[in-house]
Structure 1
Amino acid sequence: SHKSHIRGTWVESNVCPPSVSGTTLLIVAYSTVIAVGLVGNTCLVFIISRQKEMRNVTNILIANLSCSDILMCVVCLPVTVIYTLMDRWILGETLCKVTPFVQCMSVTVSIFSLVLIALERHQLIIHPTGWTPAAGHSYLAVAVTWMVACFISLPFLSFNILTNAPFQNLSLPFNPFSDHLICMELWPSERNRLAYTTSLLLFQYCLPLLLILLCYLRIFLRLRRRKDMVEQATEARQRKARGAQRVNAMLVIIVVAFALCWLPLNVFNTIFDWYHQVLPSCQHDVIFSACHLTAMASTCVNPVVYGFLNTNFQKELKATLQRCHCGWGVPETYESFPLSTVATDVTKVSSMQQGSLL
């Protein structure tokens, strides 16, 4: 997930040029992802930040997830499209270093945000009468997440370089590529590179998803054991329980979609790092582009899932569009249910005051 450039032999890309239809499909697909990701995530962040009723811990973390996706759409995706279609790097040394740095940082922020959301849900449902995180805690967690992600991504600023070395060894009477530059990683040793990329795979994908799985598994088992309590409860309590279950379903869908979107690129990177000889020469760029595009589609998942399953988001989006069109709108009423009431009859006042998630 940490590579933002086409990895392979750039000479082979000239021996096996991409087809016109393939190039067109690539441009259309990336353009669609950029448009949906930018518009959807921008709307999501705008609405969450605008409505005080929606500004609770989980929504703040979801907005943070959207911010990392916006950064990916603005910086990484356009650069990847240009580099994929060109036979060389034309964007300068700064973007050569910044693009993989930003992509690594964005992915790290996204997965850490999903971990924090899962931990918050776990605390509210498994330990509803214990400590309850407040909005202030989520802002602190967001700041720490970005700082840690920045630190993890720093090697790309150091080891990504512009070079024309691969084109200098061509045995051609006239070398048309002698002045071409590529953006690539140059590590002190292959051992260092493998140690770093393997660590990223573990701490940026495998272990966080395992922790998230454990959290939601415990939540599922706890809710299933208390199903009878909910069925015997009052109508108001049943409505709150159904709402909280809808929240859990939405969050699980977001996590599963993230894991599936990033799986192909992580597999590709792992194969390239450890056994790149098995990758076909002419199809290398095509395979990479397909895997990378699938990973980038994760930037569209958050607003789409959130928009379909969040009734408050739908109401506020409708009201915002009405105000834009008519200059005014009718205030919408919001569903409100404490997140922890699904777990027990006894809840802390702070949990009741936290506000609605949907």
Structure 2
Amino acid sequence: MELQQSTNHNQALSKEMPLNFLEDCSPSLSGTTFLIVAYSTVMAVGLIGNSCLVFVITQHKEMRNVTNIFIVNLSCSDILMCIVCLPVTIIYTLMDHWILGEALCKLTPFIQCISVTVSIFSLVLIAMERYQLIVHPTRWKPVVGQSYMAVAVTWIMACLISVPFLPYSVLSLPFHNLSMHFPGSDQVVCIEDWPSLPKRRAYTTFLLIFQYILPIILIIVCYLNIYLRLRRRRDMVERSRNATEKKNKCSMRINTMLIAIVVAFALSWLPLNVFNTVFDWNHEAIPFCSHDIIFSFCHLTAMASTCINPVIYGFLNSNFQKQLKSTLLRCRCWGVAERYESVPLSTVSTEVTKGSGVHFVRYKGPKMPEELLYSSDT
């Protein structure tokens, strides 16, 4: 989540600061430039990559299975992060104070918490769906309609979990208690103003457990059981050499990719979760002048998770690459067709007929091998 120091903590810090703290602790120009470039890069890659992933999956009916619906849900939460939270972070980093008003002060951490919660819940749903299909293939199987209901539930739960950010995110003047005046002392910041420190700590601990620890444990249990089941199945295949060997290899590739997404997500959000927990329970452990540097590193690492989904799922997956090329060729040929339609009939020649034949073949696109599709049978 976006770190917002409490009013009481800011007041305590302002009393203890030396008079030259602005000079000693102010961010360097090179550091600020690096953060802006890094955040902008993450935002661009995350927005473009996830948008392409959502577009390709929604445009091809054969890819609309339960797993891919959850993948799309994960991408949508990342897109929300890129559209709302990352631009605000860039502006906040550049200006070094809050200029976006009280509404965005409340909505930004609220939306960011929703996005993170939806992302981790989507990963849990994917793990549970794969577990049900592989470990218990003869039992109940989730269908597409039920997956849409699960997606709706994740967003509702995420909104409920994130509600405390709305009343407790406020604008504040952190140095208003100082009798002296200095440049920047009247600048507004966006902070979390909780009724008491125990309540703030309780909510931080709640998020750490239900937004990170428990989901990761559940995902590990699911994929561990999947691995053991596929290993036993592989041993049986090696003895019998039946027709299921190809299907097992496909399942293993899919699960390896999904596990990579989970591991990357967990590692990305680990530093920020540790930072938030340490800060709320013992903020003195973090040196004042190192606070912004440490937080920026942790927060940037967490925001990089928005790029994980399209990179691992898309660029490392031949099926997605083929579908993306097919979609781009289709869009290109639609543009060619529109140009042909705009040509007067008197200028139409045999070359146009030949060209239209070419674009019809390219419109069709390459046919995917059946085993590369992420169907619900694997």
Settle same-fold status: TM greater than 0.5. yes
The 5 A counterparts of 1:1-358 are: 2-5=1-4, 14-15=22-23, 16-164=25-173, 166-172=174-180, 174-232=181-239, 237-327=244-334, 328=359, 329-337=363-371, 355=375
| Residue aligned with 2:289, SS | coil
Alpha-carbon distance in 2 for matches of 1:230, 1:281: 60
Map Cα deviations across residues 62-115 of structure 1 (whole Å, 9 max, x no partner). 000000000001111111121123232100001000000001000000000000
Alpha-carbon distance in 2 for matches of 1:357, 1:193: 45
In the alignment, which residue of structure 2 is the partner of 1:349?
none
Alpha-carbon distance in 2 for matches of 1:332, 1:357: 23
Structure 1 residues 18 and 210, CA gap change in structure 2 (3 angstroms): same
Superposition deviation, residue 194 in structure 1: 0.7
| Residue aligned with 2:249, SS | helix
For normalisation by structure 1, the TM-score amounts to 0.89
Superposition deviation, residue 243 in structure 1: 1.2
Instruction: Give the RMSD, CA atoms, in angstroms.
Output: 2.2
Structure 2 residue ranges without an equivalent (≥5): 335-358
Aligned length: 341
Map Cα deviations across residues 144-188 of structure 1 (whole Å, 9 max, x no partner). 000000000000011101122x2212232x444454211111111
Sequence identity percentage: 63
For normalisation by structure 2, the TM-score amounts to 0.85
Alpha-carbon distance in 1 for matches of 2:108, 2:82: 11
Superposition deviation, residue 5 in structure 1: 4.7
In the alignment, which residue of structure 1 is the partner of 2:350?
none
Alpha-carbon distance in 2 for matches of 1:152, 1:37: 24
* Contact in 1 for aligned 2:5/2:192 (Cα 8 Å): no
In the alignment, which residue of structure 1 is the partner of 2:342?
none
Q: Which has the larger radius of gyration?
A: 2
Superposition deviation, residue 19 in structure 1: 1.3
* Contact in 2 for aligned 1:4/1:76 (Cα 8 Å): no
Alpha-carbon distance in 2 for matches of 1:234, 1:56: 29
Alpha-carbon distance in 1 for matches of 2:247, 2:229: 16
Structure 1 residue ranges without an equivalent (≥5): 340-353
Alpha-carbon distance in 2 for matches of 1:124, 1:179: 59
* Contact in 1 for aligned 2:46/2:79 (Cα 8 Å): yes
* Contact in 2 for aligned 1:58/1:120 (Cα 8 Å): yes
